[in-house]
Amino acid sequence: MPVVQVPRDDQYVLNHTTRFLARDVGEVAEPFHLPVVDTHWDGASAEVSYRFNDVTFVHRDDQAREVGVVGTFGELHTPVPLRQVRFLGEPTGLWAVTVRVGKGQVHRYRFAVDGRSVLDPVNPQRQRCDNGREWSRFFTHGCAVPISFDRWELRLLDRLVTQVLPFQLAENRRFLDDFYHRLSRSERDRQFPLAFLMDESVGVVNFIDKLLAREERHNLDDYKTCLRLIDGVLRARFPGREPAELGRQAFMDLYDELAANAVPGWDTGQYGEPRYFLVLLRRHAMTGAFAHPKHGGNNGAAAWAYLAERFEFDWRSALEAPLGRNTDYRG
Amino acid sequence: MADETFDAVIIGSGAGGAPIAHALVRAGKRVLVLEKGPLFHAQHTSPDGLSDFKRDEEFATGAEKVLRVPGVANTGVSFYSSHVEPDLNDEPHVYREKDGRDLATIEGYTAQVVGGGTQLYGGVSLRFAPDDFRLCTVNQGRADLRDDPNGDVAREARDWPFGYDELEPWYCVAEDLVGINGTRDGQLKPASADHYQKPLEPNSISSHVAVGMDALGLRRYRTPLAVITEDHLPSGRTVPLDRESIKTAFVNRYGDPLGLKSNTWVSLLHPISTEPGFELRANCAVTHLSATDSRVTAVHYRDPLGRSRTVSGTVVVVACSAIESVRLLHLSAELDPAFGQRINGNDLLGRYFLTHCFGGASARVPGRHDKSRTLDSDWATDACAAPEFVRANNLWAGGAIYNNTSDSALPISMARTWAANDMDTMWKGYLYDLDMRGDGFDGYLNENFGRQLSVAFMANQVPLPTNRITLHPSVRDKWNRPVAHIDKGWHSHDVAVMTVLAEQCRRILAAGGDGVQVIGHGHVGNDVRRIANHVLGGARFGSDPRDSVLDPDCRAWRFDNLYVTDGSFMPTSGGANPTLTIQANAFRVGDLLTTRV
């Protein structure tokens, strides 16, 4: 498919990148902001626009004569050229291009600088292909493709998250069941491609998977270590059983032990403060359940719909159509 | 020689800078505004029809970041900042804790973006009361003040160099040009013109506050808010067909994608942006000023990619929020002792730094209300700013009281502010309340969601020379410049003021009707960290060059062309949120400058 370029001006590029990049000392701040993934607006239709993001690639090179980007969002052998970004009519050394990419996607890319292929030196997200070649990576809003975790980790995490959220309660589970059943098959497939994760955790696990791939990479090791330790603890306690298949009580007990900072069988040499992991999980669960669905959780706005049904919470009137029903605000 | 020259170079695009730019450009002058932060658009000002602000809780207080600043005691802590606050590791504010340790804090930033703090504020646009301008005069000879054994208040209180009446016409100008909704009747602040737009229906939860204020005989009025509710001719902004849709809980700490919140970009700068005399350079951080004798001859800044550039102006206006303005002047002084002698010959630069005496009460109401349809506040009262109240309670000054409606309106914000005191303790209460799980979590939602109501006060802080902004001896920003170092404490009389006003807030809620359950009341008096976003003082103006940094026109005493117009000019912090007063004063100075350039 040909790449659709979007006209975003130089001011936009400077606004969203230079405060992180420009400096005399220290490293680039908040490098996860690159490439910039933002709302798409086609100037006419909220429904059509909602299916896409604008992705702005930015590369800094004072010496380059031409810079392009190739990636799986377009044709792998045809670089999309970046333009020189100017300030006061002078080249800044920044190069940029904005392209339209569908939501819910993961892509890899490399820059082509005067014919040389280079990784994005700022974006910390990387991906190694089967042939060993390393690529830079980005994902768009509402992405449900696992990035940070393996399947067993996702399933275990799902069970842990449900301990924190209110959806394990009988009446709330009924709500969720009803909520999902009201959706048409195609709607369910579109919104919940990982349906096995979408029951009581309303997509929180997917939110965490994305957060740890980007903004909170610094917390990924905590998850990897603790999930491995929890898996070991539960396997030792329930020999021959798959931890993610254990009953609710096993996870309620585990929660209490984490809260007490004393988990029998936990190797504190590998991770000293199990309670710290629980606190981390609590923040991520709360945020993932109730944040805007573009961050990967709160699937189909299920958690907001739950608040609206149980309490009073007219979230739809403020939010962009077609997710909400506000037609002035475009997201 | 500077690279370019303008009639005026204005550093900062918020409440202190934008009104001056507006006045000068309308008078046909050539103005350059330099802004450290980005130009984040509202939809209607954006070339692509999209705003850079979103209705998204992750924008107000996003993912965890980790403090890595060396040399402070809290290196390694988590912090959560807005998308228009700086990365703390690039530009920390460091304050001294009571125990003498230095700590970096996310408190005390307004916002680094075109529009400054007016992008994120709740929009509360109260005038100061007439007595706020003459606190020295009204406190002379008083021996009845609570907890002021050494007579500090009478010694340190200062009158402004002019009274309420002189600023009054500029309040009117600001209320007209900025775009504010509210009601006038019931205010203690006389107005010669009423430019308020009609307020929207209050959120139903606020009826408890109306009932409580009425029961106590406190005259109330609709809180003036810088959000347009009708088409606004001066800025050309229009409102949605469904005016009720203006109410969303994405108010305080959120930039407004529709530009209905009257930040200085949409209200004052965008309307002049097509004038030939106006130029705005966003993403440009000013590093220092240089002068020849009494004239500032160059403004040195880094362009968006960090290249050093200079400009000069017939006048130079510093308005980048009190802490950063004082720091910029200190940095300029550090590079040039002659500059230092002129700006700080009396050792007052940075002293008398002020915030507000702040606190309130919170309650749980019996019914449930949809707080997602709200602006920041519905009802206000000036009853506790009245001279009779102030005298009767043995206080030096009073303050405004108003209710908050947007707090805890959204689910994540309710959790992250649960039992948190300020920006630095965000999330701490909820996360460590480990029993809040499953049905415990459900109970927490059931008990609190749509049922929390708070009332806050905003009052004068006693000015003290020991509350001051200096340059930190070792911590540096990303441009390798010393960062701001903040010393701040409360006077014992401040604590008395806060105790009295917090009790008034409690009484309002307690009288708010059957079933209203007060769950807490208090203030920030035991916490030096709480700097808040009301950063004021540090370069106070006055009539006596020995006692002030700026003259009554906000011009630095020993400079011909250097002005400071953000909140740092204030000699006392006023009994209300400061933004409207900063704007009114900046319109006043802007008018003066039209004859000086």
Chain A contact present for B37, CB below 8 A: yes
Domain ranges of chain A: 10-139, 151-317
Distance from CA of B559 to the nearest CA of A (A): 30
List the single residue in A88, A259, A286 with the smallest CB-CB distance to B415.
Answer: A286
d(CA B47, CA B49): 6
Which parts of B310-436 fold into alpha helices (H)?
322-335, 337-344, 387-392, 411-416, 428-432
Distance from CA of A281 to the nearest CA of B (A): 9
Pull the structure tokens for residue A319: 């939010």
pLDDT digits (tens, 9 = 90+) for A3-46: 999 999 999 999 999 999 999 999 999 999 999 999 999 999 99
Give Dmax (Cα) for chain B.
Answer: 71
Q: What CATH number has the domain spanning A10-139?
A: 2.60.40.10
Distance from CA of B430 to the nearest CA of A (A): 8
User: What percentage of residues in chain B have a pLDDT greater than 70?
Assistant: 99
Residue B86: its chain A contacts at CB < 8 A?
19
In a domain, B441, yes or no: no
Mean pLDDT lowest for which of A184-188, A268-272, B141-145, B276-280?
A: A184-188
d(CA A164, CA A174): 18
Residue B166 pLDDT > 90: yes
Neighbours of A223 (CB within 10 A): 21
pLDDT digits (tens, 9 = 90+) for B440-452: 888 899 999 999 9
Pull the structure tokens for residue B14: 């918020």
B280, B272 Cβ separation under 8 angstroms: no
pLDDT digits (tens, 9 = 90+) for A48-68: 999 999 999 999 999 999 999
Neighbours of B56 (CB within 10 A): 18
A140, A105 Cβ separation under 8 angstroms: yes
Distance from CA of A212 to the nearest CA of B (A): 10
pLDDT for residue A194: 43
Q: How many CA atoms lie within 13 A of A123 on its CB side?
A: 26
Q: Which residue has the higher pLDDT, B420 or A234?
A: A234
Neighbours of B317 (CB within 10 A): 31
Residue B437: its chain A contacts at CB < 8 A?
163-164, 255
d(CA B497, CA B460): 9
pLDDT digits (tens, 9 = 90+) for B456-509: 999 999 999 999 999 999 999 999 999 999 999 999 999 999 999 999 999 999
Q: Which residue has the tokens 């003066």?
A: B592
Chain A contact present for B474, CB below 8 A: no
- Residue of chain A nearest B250, judged by CA positions: A318
Partners of B404 in beta bridges:
B454
B220, B379 Cβ separation under 8 angstroms: yes
pLDDT for residue B326: 98
Residue A313: its chain B contacts at CB < 8 A?
370, 372, 449-450
In a domain, B165, yes or no: yes
Per-residue pLDDT band for B432 (boundaries 50, 70, 90) equals confident
Distance from CA of A130 to the nearest CA of B (A): 32
Find out whether the peptide bond into A35 is cis, omega within 30 degrees of 0.
yes
CATH code of B115's domain: 3.50.50.60
Distance from CA of B141 to the nearest CA of A (A): 52
Pull the structure tokens for residue B241: 């067909």
Q: Which residue has the higher pLDDT, A218 or A202?
A: A218
Residue A216: its chain B contacts at CB < 8 A?
63-64
Residue B227: its chain A contacts at CB < 8 A?
none
List the single residue in A16, A22, A30 with the smallest CB-CB distance to B305.
Answer: A22
Residue B297 pLDDT > 90: yes
pLDDT for residue B527: 74
B539, B567 Cβ separation under 8 angstroms: no
User: What percentage of residues in chain A have a pLDDT greater than 70?
Assistant: 93
Q: Strand pairing of B452-459 and B399-404?
A: antiparallel
pLDDT digits (tens, 9 = 90+) for B4-28: 999 999 999 999 999 999 999 999 9
Residue B404 pLDDT > 70: yes
Chain A contact present for B62, CB below 8 A: yes
Residue A76 pLDDT > 90: no
CA A46 to chain centre: 22
B224, B376 Cβ separation under 8 angstroms: no
pLDDT digits (tens, 9 = 90+) for B309-359: 999 999 999 999 999 999 999 999 999 999 999 999 999 999 999 999 999
Q: Classify burial at A183, counting beta carbons within 10 Å of its beta carbon; exposed 0-12, middle 13-18, buried 19 or more.
A: middle
Neighbours of B124 (CB within 10 A): 26
Residue A310 pLDDT > 50: yes
Chain A contact present for B49, CB below 8 A: yes
pLDDT for residue A185: 64
B521, B503 Cβ separation under 8 angstroms: yes
pLDDT for residue B309: 98
Quick one: which of B459, B337, B310 has its CA closest to B393?
B459
pLDDT for residue B427: 86
List the single residue in B48, B55, B66 with the smallest CB-CB distance to A218.
Answer: B66
Neighbours of B520 (CB within 10 A): 13
Distance from CA of B451 to the nearest CA of A (A): 10
Return the DSSP state at B383.
G
* Mean pLDDT (whole number) for B64-69: 94
Where would I find the beta strands (DSSP E) of B36-76? 65-66
Return the DSSP state at A115.
T
In a domain, B282, yes or no: yes
B396, B387 Cβ separation under 8 angstroms: no
List the single residue in B303, B373, B480 with the smallest CB-CB distance to A317.
Answer: B373
pLDDT digits (tens, 9 = 90+) for B554-577: 999 999 999 999 999 999 999 999
- Residue of chain B nearest A215, judged by CA positions: B63
Q: What is the mean pLDDT of chain A?
A: 92
pLDDT for residue B556: 98
pLDDT for residue A195: 45
A326, B258 Cβ separation under 8 angstroms: no
pLDDT for residue A159: 92
- Residue of chain A nearest B248, judged by CA positions: A318
In a domain, B436, yes or no: no
The verdict on a CB contact (< 8 Å) between B478 and A24 is yes
Q: B196 phi and psi, to 5 degrees?
A: -65, 140
Give residues 336 to 375 of B whose Cβ lies within 8 Å of A. 368-370, 372-373
ipTM confidence = 0.96
Q: Strand pairing of A106-113 and A67-71?
A: antiparallel
Q: What is the mean pLDDT of chain B?
A: 95
Count of pairs with CB atoms under 8 A, one residue in A, one in B: 192
Query: What's the number of domains chain B is made of?
Result: 1
Residue A196 pLDDT > 50: no
List the single residue in B87, B304, B369 with the smallest CB-CB distance to A30.
Answer: B87
Domain housing B373: 4-237+247-409+450-593
Residue B102 pLDDT > 70: yes
Q: Is B139 left (phi over 0), alpha (psi -120 to 50) or beta?
A: alpha
Mean pLDDT lowest for which of A171-175, B103-107, B408-412?
A: A171-175
Neighbours of B201 (CB within 10 A): 11
pLDDT for residue B525: 83
In a domain, B242, yes or no: no
Neighbours of A48 (CB within 10 A): 12
Residue A300 pLDDT > 90: no
Residue B276 pLDDT > 50: yes
